[in-house]
Structure 1
Amino acid sequence: MAALLEAQGDNPFRVAAYQRASETVAQLGTSLREIHRGGGVAALDALPGVGQRIAAAIVEMLETGHWQQLERLRGSSDTEALFRTIPGVGPDLAMRLHEALGVDTLEALEGAARAGRLEAVEGIGPRRAAAIGAALTQMLDRRRTRRQGGLSRGLTGAEPPVALLLQVDREYRAAAEADKLPKIAPKRFNPENRAWLPVLHANKSGWHFTALYSNTARAHELDRTHDWVVIYAEDEAHHEHPCTVVTAGRGALVGKRVVRGREIECRQWYAQAAA
């Protein structure tokens, strides 16, 4: 992660944090799995140079064999496979959840379920939405219980303001158009293995942002791969808040950039900006 973030131009302090944690792990006389088994995530957090964010990442790798954040920045994330781990969710539904909601973590999907957004997905009625939401929360509650000390990377705390998200969206699209950003070669929908997907890392108002164009099947189908921007906002407590910014195709905000699922807030922000 340290090498990847450095290559993508992230904050040097963030890069150094992963380097320090790596040095700690390399010098351990006991495996991380044994440390976690004996003291949970709190024992990992207590290791020199590890801290909450990296402790949660280690737990994710120990429990799932994957690190979603790392795979995302490598362009190898398989969200649909992740969603298929939810009881009652098969391949078709996993794809529809990912494409319609624009989320790529179980925690973000749980947030969408709590906001009542599952019913907007084709083929999901109120009863099925409730069943999926309950199964997902049960899965995550078990995981959160195992992660002692409340250090899971769930959707906790206030979301970033839409004004800040729209600012990151503007900066990302301008820098991408000017070819000023590092690029990754996503594994999906990229048979030539071409590095075409620009990545932006930025720190603003106590938040760390990572922005990328959407590389979903739906974005390719609708030719929106250079319109839909997925932003991952990490707060000071290291909780991640993903969202998708798109150009509105209808309604009062047609032609304007909006944060999907937060259209009312965007409408209010645009009204204030015009006043």
Structure 2
Amino acid sequence: MHAPGQRLLNKVAIISGGAGGCGEAASRLFAAEGARVVIVDRNAGAAMELARQIKAEGGEAIGVGADVSRADQVRSAVAAGEAAFGGADVLFNHAGTLIVKPFLDVEEDEWDWLMAVNVKSMYLMTRAVLPQMLAKGKGSIICTSSISAEYATPGEVAYNATKGACQMFARAIAVEFRDRGIRCNAVAPGFIRTAHGIREMKELQAMGVDASEAAIAAQQGRLCEPEEVARAALFLASDEASFVSGAHLFVDNCFSSV
């Protein structure tokens, strides 16, 4: 096993939604652990700036702008990563967002949009990257799920449904490709201190749901920090998790156990 600081040495890691929140934390951490990181984000400027910062700190990274719910843009982003660093060893399907509103107020186009960003993106990214991993005979895929995959919240029917799909997508990929050297797992955070997480809390409270920081502290002790999610993803990405596949790893400080 590699020592700390080298757990992804000589590996190529692609991170979707890699320029902000937990994705940014993972981009920085994976690079610090020796990976050549392909940061894919809808915000191309943020992705390129983060790559610049990582390189300034001695890491290797490129930033690529892409809407990962669009097949053509996914293919272009993955091709750019392969051209820069070679075939991928790690794929972190992190890109995602949420809708908070009463179920009967969710419009069809909103439902379709959330499914595209949170679910279709995993299909497109995984389909694009898997051939590179299969050519190497190994690879690790991590998908960002949520406690919402198993614990429903009022006002989040659409979001909860996408994360349930994420959990089973990871497990099914793991089963289908186990004997070809591919591992696939889901990381399932609780409430996180990111712009996404704070917005979720505010919008839930506006609906009358008790999602204050104090209420969340009662459920999971405190808000999760993005670096804590990144470290869980790092474990799943690394060879330290060589016999971990098809798992749903909660990063929630017992929210799912209380």
Q: TM-score normalised to the size of structure 1?
A: 0.29
